[in-house]
Chains A and B, each alone.
Chain A
Amino acid sequence: MLKLNINGQNRSLDVEPDTPLLWALRDELQLTGTKYGCGIAACGACTVLLNGAPARACVTPVSAVVGQRITTIEGLATTKTESKTAKAVQAAWEKLDVVQCGYCQSGQIMSAVALLATNPKPTDADIDAAMAGNICRCATYHRIRAAIHDASRTLT
C-alpha cells in the first residue's frame, strides 16, 4: 500500500510502485481530469502540481511522490495553497472561452497556475517559456496567452 496526499486528502493505493501517477489517479482514484496525451512528458496534458510545481504525471512513478503534496485539476480550486490563483485562472479561461476540444486544458490550467504562483506578472515571453510544454492541437494558444494576462490582472 502506498500513501499519497492528493488534493489535501490522504489516499491509500494498492498499485505497482512503477505505475505512473497519471494512471494511479485515473484508473485507481477515478480522478480523470488529468489526461493521457503522450506518455513521454512531451505534451503536458497530464500536468499536476507537486508541492505547487508543475510535473508530468505520465512519467512520474507513484513511488516517487509519496509524502509530496499532489494537486490535480479536481482539487485546484479548493486546496489552500493554490485556490486563489486557480480561481483567477479558471475565471479567465471561462471569460475568454479558451477551450475547444478541452482535452489538454486541465494541463494548460495547471501550468498557468504554477506560472502565476511564481511570476504574477508574466510577459508574453514568460508565458511562452512556461507554457511551451503544453501542446494544444486545437491551437487555443492565442487565448491561453490572453487568459493568463487576464488572470494576472485579477491577481495583482
Chain B
Amino acid sequence: MRIENASRRDFFKASAGLTLALYLPSALAAKRPAAVAPPLAPNAFVRIGTDDRVTVIAKHLEMGQGTYTGLSTLVAEELDAAWSQIHVEAAPADASRYNNLFFGPTQATGGSTSMANSFLQMRQAGATARAMLVSAAAELWQVKPATITIRQGIVMHAPSGRQARFGELVEAAAKLPVPTDIKLKEPKDFVFIGKHVPRKDSQAKINGSAIYTQDIHLPGMLTAVVAHPPRFGAKVKSFDATRAKAIKGVVDVIQIPTGVAVLGTNFWSAKKGRDALEVSWDETDAFRLSTSDITQQYKALLDQPGVTAKKVGAGETALKAATQQLTADYSLPYLAHATMEPMNCVIRLSDTHCEVWNGEQAQSTDQPKLAAALGLQPEQVTINMLYAGGSFGRRSNTQSDYPLEAAYIAKAIRKAGQPAVVKLVWTREDDMRAGYYRPKFMHRITAGLDTEGKLVAWQQRIVGQSILVGTALEGFIKDGIDMTSVEGAANLPYATANLDVELHTPVLGVPVLWWRSVGSTHAAFAIESFVDELAHAVKQDPITFRRQLLKEHPRHLGVIDLAMRASGWDKPLAPGKADEKRGRGFAVHESFNSYVANVAEVTVKPDGSFKIDRVVCAVDCGIAVNPDVVRAQMEGGIGFGLSAALHSEITLNEGRVEQSNFGDYPALRINEMPHIEVHIVPSAAPPTGVGEPGTPVVAPAVANALFSATGQRLRQLPFKLNAVEKSM
C-alpha cells in the first residue's frame, strides 16, 4: 500500500516520533508465563531468552522481499548479536506498537517502506537491548560500562577477560530500567549493515517446512471453495445444491454476499462440489463492457482535456514555437497479480473471538473490517501473519475482499456454542477472475524540441481508473487527482520550462488495485519510451540526451552513469549471427525514492522473435542494508516487469474475464530470463525501498532496445500483440 511518496523530510519526521512507539510496554513480555525466567524484552521488537535466543518481532509481512532478513539485520547490528542466534517472529495485529511509521497510525506493509520506516526504529530496539545487557554485565563484574564490548553475541570485559552470553545476563538486565538515551552506531562501525548475511527464511523455504496460509490445518477445519459471479457486480439469484451435496465430503453449501460457498472436509471435495453446483446469477447490475469498448472510450478521452495534475509555464505557446513536435500514444492492459499462492484465508470464529491466519499485509484495514462484519470489536480479531506466497500489492486491499469472504463463510456456518473453523481456498481460476487488477492505462505525450534539441514543452494526458476511488483512501484524491495515477509524470524529472500533465479517471465496474510499483508501472513505460523517441528525433545518444535534461537530479545521474559504465555503453554492442539484429536500450526511473537504470540488450531473429540477452541494472536505494537482498529484488523486479512486458494481459469479453490460469495468462519462465547484473550506487543516504522500484524500468528499456535493433517502435504492452515485424 502506498499513501504518499514519503519524502526525506517525512523520513526524519517519522523517525523523530519513534521513541513513543518503541517504549510502550511490551504486551508480549507481560503475557509470558511466570514460571520461566522472564526474557529481556525492553520493547515491542526484541526479546532475548535465557537460551541466548534473540527474537526479532517483525511488524512487516515477509512476502519474498526479504524484510525478515532486513529487520533482523538492523537489530543484530546494534545488538552485536551473532546472526545465527536471531530468530524472527511475526508481530500480531496491534497498530499501537506495530504501525508503519510512514503510514501514521496504520499497521501495513507496502509502498516499499519496510526498511525505510524501520531503519532507525529497529536499530533503536537492538541498541536498547544492548545497553541493558552491558549495564547488567557492568554491575555483575563491577566494571565501567564503557569498558565492556559485545561481539557476535558475547559480552566481554577485555581487561579482566570476563565474558558472558546474552542468556546469562538476561535475568539481571530485565530488572533494569529501559534506557532512553541510546546512541546508535556510526556507519563506519557497521558489521552487518551493508555486508552479506544469509536470508532468515531460506532454510524453511528450501526444505518445505515454511508455513503459508495454504498449509494451515486445524482441528475441525472445513475447506471452502466459492462460486463467484461470472461478471463483476452480478449477484446470486438462486442456486441448486443437490448435485454438489451428492459429492462425497461436501458438508454444506451456503450463500454468502460474494457468491455461493461449498464446504468440504478437504479441498478436493469442496472443489468438486463447487464445480457441480448450479447457480443462477442476477446480472442486472453487472459490468458488461469488453476490452475493445474500454479501449475505444479511453482513446476518445485522450482527445479531450483532462483534470490538471501539473501545470508549469505555457505549454501550448511553447509547442507552437518549437522546431520539432512529437506525439505518441502508449497503451497498457489490466494486469493480475497472479501470486504463486492464490488468495486464501483461514478463520476460526467463536462467540467472542475471531482468529485469522493470512499472508497479512494490511492489519489496520482487515482487523476492523472483519470485526464489523462479524459483530465483534477490533481487539476481538487476532491475526496470525504468515509467510505470503507473493503479493505484489494483492494482499493489501482496502476492501479486504478475500478475508471478508472467509469471515462471511465462518459466520454462516457457525453453530451456537462451537467455533467455526474454515479455510477459504481460491483456485487459480478464482484468483485470476475475482478482480483487483492493475488498471488499464493509456498515455498520450506530446513534446516540443528547439533547434538545439532541448525540451521546450512536455504535455502528457493519462487515462485510467483510480485505485483509490470508492475506497477508504478516497480522501487522498486531491482536486480530482489520484496521485497514484500520475506519479512519475506529475513529478517528471526531465528539465522543461513547460509541463502539463492531465488525468482522466473513468469510473468502471472493474475492481482495480495497486500492483508492484503502482503508477510507475505505466508512467515509466510511456515516459521512458517517449524520451527515447525524442533522443532519436534529435539524433542524440539516448543516454546523452537524458543526462543533459537531468542535470538537477544527481541520483538519476548516479544510476545512469553506473549502468552506462557497467554495461559498456560506450563500446559498440557485439553483433549477433549474420541474420540476426541486435539492439541496446536504456531507461531510468525513480519510484519510492529509489532510482533504477536498466540497459537491456536484445537479439532479434529473422522471424521477428526476439530474446532479451542481458539486463544491466544500477540502483540507488540509499544505504543498501542487505546488498544481496537488494540485488535479488532488482533481479526479481526485472523478471516481474518482463512478464508484463512480454505476456501479461487481462481482457474482458462483455464483462467476463477471458483469462483463467497460466495457460492463457502466461508468466515469464526461466528460458526467457535474461542474464542480469545488478550494481548498487554506494550511498550514505537513509535507505529507501527495493521491493517495487526494480519493476517499471525494464519494459521501456526492452522497447528501446527493440527499436534500436529494428527501427520499430512498440508502444503497447504486452509486446506479443504487436511483435516485431518479420520482414527484416
Contacts and interface: CB of A to CB of B under 8 A. Distances in A.
B341 A141 contact: no
B669 interface: yes
Contacts of B391: 101
Interface string B637-651: 111101100000000
A15 B209 CA distance: 24
Nearest to B695: A139
Contacts of B389: 35, 101-104
A25 to B, nearest CB: 11
A142 B673 contact: yes
Interface string A83-126: 00000001001100111111111100100000000000000000
Contacts of A11: none
Interface stretch (B127-135, B198-206, B301-309, B499-507): B198-206
B217 interface: yes
Given A73-B208, A139-B635, A140-B632, A45 B676 contact: no
A150 to B, nearest CB: 14
A155 B638 CA distance: 31
B208 A32 contact: yes
Contacts of A64: none
Given A33-B209, A73-B208, A102 B643 contact: no
Nearest to B664: A42
B662 interface: yes
A59 interface: no
A100 B425 CA distance: 22
B428 A39 contact: yes
A34 interface: yes
B635 A23 contact: no
Nearest to B628: A97
Interface string A25-43: 0111011111111111011
A109 to B, nearest CB: 7
B392 interface: yes
B458 interface: no
A137 B392 contact: yes
Contacts of A1: none
Interface stretch (B17-25, B61-69, B529-537, B542-550): B61-69
Contacts of B207: 33, 73-74, 76-77, 90
A138 B198 CA distance: 18
Contact of B670 (A19, A20, A90, A127): A127
A100 B64 contact: yes
A42 B428 CA distance: 11
Interface string B3-32: 000000000000000000000000000000
Nearest to A20: B268
A72 interface: yes
Contacts of B209: 33, 74
Interface residues of A, number: 58
Interface string B387-426: 1111110000000000000000000000000000000010
B208 A23 contact: no
A152 interface: no
B289 to A, nearest CB: 28
Given A94-B202, A99-B202, A102-B205, A35 B214 contact: yes
Contact of B390 (A16, A98, A101, A142): A101
Given A30-B217, A139-B668, A74 B636 contact: no
A135 interface: yes
Contacts of A27: 217, 223, 266-268
A140 B636 contact: yes
A131 interface: yes
B663 interface: yes
B636 A139 contact: yes
Contact of B662 (A28, A90, A100, A135): A135
Given A23-B268, A45-B340, A93-B206, A137 B390 contact: yes
Given A32-B217, A132-B669, A93 B340 contact: no
B479 interface: no
A105 B205 contact: yes
B202 A101 contact: no
Interface in A18-73: 19-20, 23, 26-28, 30-40, 42-43, 45, 72-73
B710 interface: no
A139 B249 CA distance: 37
A33 B207 CA distance: 8
A55 B207 CA distance: 18
Nearest to A104: B340
Given A40-B663, A138-B640, A102 B670 contact: no
22 contacts: A19-B268, A27-B266, A27-B268, A38-B428, A39-B427, A43-B340, A43-B428, A93-B202, A97-B628, A99-B199, A101-B388, A102-B387, A103-B390, A104-B389, A105-B206, A106-B208, A109-B206, A132-B670, A132-B671, A134-B669, A136-B340, A140-B635
Given A16-B268, A23-B266, 8 more contacts: A28-B266, A43-B340, A74-B207, A103-B339, A105-B205, A132-B670, A132-B671, A140-B639
Interface of A: 15-16, 19-20, 23, 26-28, 30-40, 42-43, 45, 72-74, 76-77, 90, 93-94, 97-106, 109, 127-129, 131-132, 134-145
